[in-house]
Amino acid sequence: MCILKQIHQWTTDLCWKDSDQDGRYNGYELGDPWCLWTPGRKQALYPHLSHPEICEPWDSETCQSRNGSLQCNNKLPACDGMNATDVKNVTLRLPLSYVPARRVSYVYSLFSLPSDAECHVIAALPIKDNSQILHGITVFGCDPRRQFNRTDRAYLCNGIPTTPCQEIITGYTSGVPQTCMPAEAGVRIGIKGFKQVMVAWYNPTRRQGYTDSSGMTLYYTPKLSRFDAGVSPLEVTHFSIPSGRESYEVVSACQGDCTVLQVASPIYIILGMNHMHRLGHVGLEPFAKLKNTKNKAQRFSDSTGNIN
């Protein structure tokens, strides 16, 4: 970075300085929100959030003038089939809401999806209204047998979706900028019911005054693919990281005695990812084994690598 090349050292004054004048001081952008990092420390107190010499949001009028001739081609390629004539889209977006002055917050809102026909979701793109605090977005499907009222506001929650709304349709994190389904599969929608969108906010300095209206745009088609896609999270929720170690491995698995009750026919793994809440730096590639339990074979075919 130019600021470090000119000064050659990280100081408290440099940490509190807003070099790119985007409202976020250098330490906040580099993972040192309290300006406590010292030379010799291997890592910042938190993972960096952005670049201290690039004004963000990139597409704002203020930042466009301050970034000058700096060019950044961050446009993602369109998913296969997303621009086909039969493909429609629906946007699920939180109403503009104030972000609490606490490190991590979860908020949700309920939306309805088209129910006039059975369709497959083939792609999903995030709407990042406030990238300074946006940590993740998850779209959940709700039990069509339950009745819900569409909400016109966002509600705080503890990060766990309500019981009838726990089927994951798609999501967004920094390691998964968009969702593109393969040509052979899609996430089925169209049954009458509501969908819940949950957004996670990350505000390490507990700054007041932030607002956000992020969400997701789903692209769907009535031309059903061969396979229905779904998401199966494997979580390790409670573990301690020993101090003084450069690496620590955590393993999560779903045993064959469990999957034999859930899997009635062969499934194919098309994507695997590790979501480590800004703490992890290296993710091991997920894998699956063929296991025969009670004469029922569970066939898993992995067709992609890991996304960190």
CATH number of this structure's domain 88-227, picked from the four choices 2.60.120.310, 3.40.50.12160, 2.20.25.570, 3.30.360.10: 2.60.120.310
* Residue (of 227, 172, 179, 168) closest to 80 by Cα position: 179
pLDDT of residue 201: 77
Single-letter amino acid code for the residue at 19: S
The pLDDT, as a whole number, for residue 113 is: 80
Distance of alpha carbon 11 from its chain centroid, rounded?
Answer: 33
What does the CA dihedral 148, 153, 158, 164 come to, rounded to 10 degrees? 10
DSSP assignment letter at 11? -
Question: For residue 111, how many other CB atoms are within 10 A of its CB?
Answer: 20
Q: What is the pLDDT of residue 219?
A: 93
DSSP secondary structure of 190-216: -SS-EEEEEEEEE-TT--SS-EE--EE
Instruction: Using the structure block, give the residue that is written with the tokens 């969908």.
Output: 195
Question: What secondary structure does DSSP assign to 124-135, as a single string?
Answer: EEEE-S-TTTEE
The pLDDT, as a whole number, for residue 87 is 94
Structure tokens at 283: 């993710």
Residue 109: strand pairing partners: 197
Q: Where are the domains of the chain?
A: 1-74, 88-227, 232-308
Angstrom distances, CA of residue 180 to CA of 18, 186, 204: 37, 9, 31
Q: 0.85 exceeded by the pTM? A: no
Q: What is the pLDDT of residues 145-191, one digit of tens each?
A: 777 767 778 888 877 777 778 888 888 886 677 888 888 888 888 76
Mean pLDDT by 10 residues, the chain (308 residues): 59 88 84 82 68 76 74 68 90 89 86 82 89 84 74 79 80 78 86 65 76 90 89 70 76 72 76 66 51 39 37
pLDDT recorded at residue 44: 60
Nearest to 109 by CA among 157, 146, 143, 147: 157
